Amino acid sequence: MLVYVVRKLLSTIPTLLGVALIVFILFDMVGGDPTYQMLGRHANAQQIQEVRHEYGFDQPQPIQFLHYLKQIVTFDYGRSYATRQPISQMIMEGVGPSLSLMIPAFLITTILSVSIGLMVAYFRGRAIDRIVVILCVFGMSLPMLAYILFGQYFFAFKLGWFPISGYESAWPDRLEFILMPMIIFVIVSLGYDVRFYRTAILEETTQDYVRTARAKGLSEPVVFFRHVLKNSMVPILTNVVIEIPMLILGAFLLESFFGIPGLGSITIDAVHNSDFPVIKAMTTLVAFLYVLGNLTTDILYTLVDPRVSLK
């Protein structure tokens, strides 16, 4: 296992280098010189030269790329164009609010979706199965923005059950502000996840070992919960781990509309301000999470399915 993990980590280095090269080309070469955007139209030549020297824009492109690689390794992405704050500090400050919102929402979504998917697969073809599938399709058809606006207007503004927006750094006062975003995230995510897990479980019910278990006289609950669910864990784990990096993306709208100062809100502000260093840092972070997620998935496969071997 240790040898496999080390080899897998080494194999991710070319992937990360490729991501870094693409990000550098998009933002530093194709994106142009951001000096004029930072200083405005009325900057003189001396100011332009000073800023270009401060940020290294006057250096050759290969040197700038090596500097970018050094930023990735040392987790020092320089300063934001818009706020002049250290980007690493901005990321560390945004991690807490994002995790406090997305981790509970993600865990609740995973538990509910797997449970509901198993239940509707067990009652396949019955009324409850059809109703749940219809509700899932309906829930998937509406964008997250619709849920956000409806929740803020009806539950926050009209009924006053939740704050419309805001954030509190101290617990348990923070729960009041993140509760409605959590509920919205769960509702939005359930539709796709339930249908995915239902399909994965139903595919296992057609396997030979299920027919053999039924022929031996095992009851349907035993077949589903002891055999089918266990063998369905490979696609379930794949979907769960792949969704982890998407938590940052899922937090974009929620944090922006509810005033939560997390990573999603930081990224949205960076896009609005064309703050390329922050966007580059967040892009690199998401890519790293994807690579780490793939490695975690491969390792977890061996724990849930003995047929999988690491080579």
pLDDT tens digit sequence for 39-78: 666 667 777 777 777 777 777 778 888 888 888 888 888 8
Q: Where in the chain is the domain with CATH 1.10.3720.10?
A: 94-304
What amino acid occupies position 130?
A: R
Question: pLDDT category, 227, cuts 50, 70, 90?
Answer: confident
Q: What does the alpha-carbon distance between residue 298 and residue 8 come to, in Å, rounded to a whole number?
A: 10
Q: Are 45 and 35 in contact (CB under 8 A)?
A: no
Q: How far are the Cα atoms of 37, 85, 99, 200 from residue 82, in angstroms, in the given order?
A: 10, 8, 24, 46
pLDDT of 122? 80
What's the whole-number average pLDDT of the chain? 80
The yes or no reply on domain 94-304 and CATH 1.20.120.1230 is no
Q: Are 55 and 78 in contact (CB under 8 A)?
A: yes
Write down the residue that tokens 């990224």 correspond to. Answer: 267
Give the pair of three-digit tokens for residue 212.
């053999």
Which pTM was predicted?
A: 0.76
pLDDT of 248? 66
Q: Can you list the alpha helix ranges (DSSP code H) found in the chain?
A: 2-24, 35-39, 45-55, 61-74, 87-122, 127-141, 144-150, 173-204, 208-215, 220-222, 229-231, 233-243, 246-258, 263-272, 276-304
Q: Are 210 and 203 in contact (CB under 8 A)?
A: no
pLDDT tens per residue, range 109-126: 888 988 888 888 888 888
Give residues with Cβ within 8 angstroms of 210, minimum separation 6.
204, 223, 227, 228
Give the pair of three-digit tokens for residue 130.
């059809």
Question: pLDDT category, 33, cuts 50, 70, 90?
Answer: low
Q: Is the pLDDT of residue 270 over 80?
A: yes
pLDDT of 268? 83
